[in-house]
Amino acid sequence: MQTKTTLPILFVVMFLVMVGFGIIIPVLPFYAEKIGANPTELGLLMAVYSLMQLIFAPLWGQVSDRIGRKPVMMIGIAGLAVSFYMQAISTELWMLFAARILGGILSSANMPTAMAYVADITTDENRGKGMGIIGAASGLGFVFGPAIGGIFSKVSLNTPFYLASGSSFITLILVFILLKESKQKKSLASKEKTSIWKAFNRTVSVLFFVQLLISLSLSGLEATFAYFGAKKAGLDSIQLGYIFMIMGFGSAMVQGGLVGKLTQKYGESVVIKGGIIVSAIGFVLILLVHNFTTAAIYLTIFGLGNGVIRPSVSSLLTKTSTAGHGSSTGLLSSFDSLGRIIGPPLGGWLFSISVGLPYISGAIISIVSFLLFIVFSPQLNTVRARNS
């Protein structure tokens, strides 16, 4: 399979997947409230999705190692289509919970399988570029999805869910028609069933913990910045939407255009360390926000640093891990989900103590992850050299 023709297809697929997911983000709280959810139940509704992804992403990654990437990706996208439709027709809270649980279980197949697919079809030299393209597609999907959802919510609160379901169904058809399997039948047949935790060995475990810490600090920022921006700079919801859109575009452009060049020239380890440093600087700068312009600039600086970390971590992991690509990327997605579960309540609690504390702690967490990576990265380089 030609990498040059397949990566654009993967980009479109993951972009559409994330657009569908993003469409419902601004609508779900109001939709759940209409059905009868209180704030606690809304929090549980959001958390249960991430919890299912935490549990099932490694399982789907392992399954894709055994039966192939394409069927697992189709299962994940079909799960999104069904879940969105179930949410659209929900009239009781338990129906909404059932739809979110099903969506979390099945859609957790998408990201690890896409990253494993990239690892299958790329060489070590252009692995970072491939992972960056997947990251850029996801980032742009999150930029356009919420905007589309907000516009169509004016028709009715159900409409964005029907739209997301239709988008996912179209994506499923595109995958079925355009995407070829990345793994040969011979390699699939020879795969033995091994423990998911084979991917979590002493050498590469630092990458999982770095991803956990970065995800935790990012989700804490996402959960609290609306309150912080309103308090420190008087920002309203429309201005905040523009700020996150600018940040998302910046992050996506770096992932799609620079990650490949940077990893080829300097290697993933250097790019990861640089991304963590820029993220830490971004956290500190956020404390100085006082108007729309400074908020947009400082959050974009943070987004540029944060954006290069996940693709570089994914690239380095698939080069150093002795487990299958799917098992490795699935476990990485699980650690990412764990950070997204812990981050929002932790960030909210810190914000209740002091409005700047989530960003001070974010800078500290970034420094801790940097030091952790510094200590263990020489072992990764040794293993990578041995595998080359």
| The pLDDT of residue 63 | 93
Of all residues in the chain, the percent with pLDDT exceeding 90 is 60
Ranking 95-99, 173-177, 198-202 by mean pLDDT, the lowest is 198-202
pLDDT (tens digit, 9 = 90+) per residue, 249-259?
999 999 988 89
Q: Where are the alpha helices (DSSP H) in the chain?
A: 3-23, 28-35, 39-67, 69-88, 93-107, 110-121, 127-152, 159-178, 185-189, 205-233, 237-257, 259-266, 268-286, 292-320, 325-353, 357-387
The average pLDDT across 156-184 equals 90
Neighbouring CB atoms inside 10 A of 189's CB total 8
Give the distance from CA 233 to its chain's centroid. 28
What distance in Å separates the CA atoms of residue 274 and residue 268, rounded to the nearest whole number? 10
Residues 6+ apart with CB under 8 A from 196: 58, 59, 61, 62, 327, 330, 331
Ranking 140-154, 205-219, 263-277 by mean pLDDT, the lowest is 140-154
pLDDT of 385 > 60? The answer is no
What distance in Å separates the CA atoms of residue 276 and residue 361, rounded to the nearest whole number? 14
The average pLDDT across 329-353 equals 91
Helix/strand/coil for 313: helix
pLDDT of 327 > 50? The answer is yes
Any idea which residue has 């970034």 for tokens? 366
Q: Which amino acid is at 181?
A: E
pLDDT band at residue 199 under the 50/70/90 scheme: low
pTM, whole model, 2 decimals? 0.86
Residues 6+ apart with CB under 8 A from 385: none
pLDDT (tens digit, 9 = 90+) per residue, 120-139?
988 888 899 999 999 999 88
Any idea which residue has 């971004």 for tokens? 282
| The pLDDT of residue 198 | 61
pLDDT, greater one: 43 or 83: 83
Q: Which residues of 214-238 are buried (b: 16+ CB within 10 A; e: fewer)?
A: bbbbbbbbebbbbebbeebbebeee
| The pLDDT of residue 104 | 93
What distance in Å separates the CA atoms of residue 368 and residue 370, rounded to the nearest whole number? 5
The average pLDDT across 266-295 equals 95
The average pLDDT across 38-63 equals 88
What distance in Å separates the CA atoms of residue 267 and residue 257, rounded to the nearest whole number? 16
**What is the average pLDDT score of the chain?**
88
pLDDT (tens digit, 9 = 90+) per residue, 39-49?
788 878 888 99
Helix/strand/coil for 90: coil
pLDDT, greater one: 43 or 176: 176
| The pLDDT of residue 189 | 44
| The pLDDT of residue 1 | 47
Of all residues in the chain, the percent with pLDDT exceeding 70 is 91
pLDDT, greater one: 383 or 4: 4
pLDDT of 30 > 70? The answer is yes
What distance in Å separates the CA atoms of residue 189 and residue 185, rounded to the nearest whole number? 6
The average pLDDT across 231-246 equals 87
Instruction: Report how far apart, in Å, the C-alpha atoms of 88 and of each of 22, 32, 82, 205, 209 are.
Output: 15, 11, 10, 40, 37
| The pLDDT of residue 190 | 45
pLDDT band at residue 231 under the 50/70/90 scheme: very high
Two structure tokens written together for 144: 């356009």
Q: Virtual CA dihedral for 279, 281, 283, 287, nearest 10 degrees?
A: -160
| The pLDDT of residue 386 | 59
Helix/strand/coil for 165: helix
Please check whether residue 169 is in contact with residue 81, taking contact to mean a CB–CB distance below 8 angstroms: yes
| The pLDDT of residue 286 | 97
pLDDT of 103 > 80? The answer is yes
What distance in Å separates the CA atoms of residue 173 and residue 5, rounded to the nearest whole number? 18
The average pLDDT across 200-219 equals 87
pLDDT band at residue 185 under the 50/70/90 scheme: very low
pLDDT band at residue 387 under the 50/70/90 scheme: low
pLDDT of 246 > 70? The answer is yes
Ranking 140-154, 288-302, 371-385 by mean pLDDT, the lowest is 371-385
Task: For the chain, give the longest Cα–Cα distance.
Answer: 60
Instruction: Report how far apart, in Å, the C-alpha atoms of 135 and of each of 312, 320, 376 are.
Output: 10, 20, 25
Please check whether residue 334 is in contact with residue 58, taking contact to mean a CB–CB distance below 8 angstroms: yes
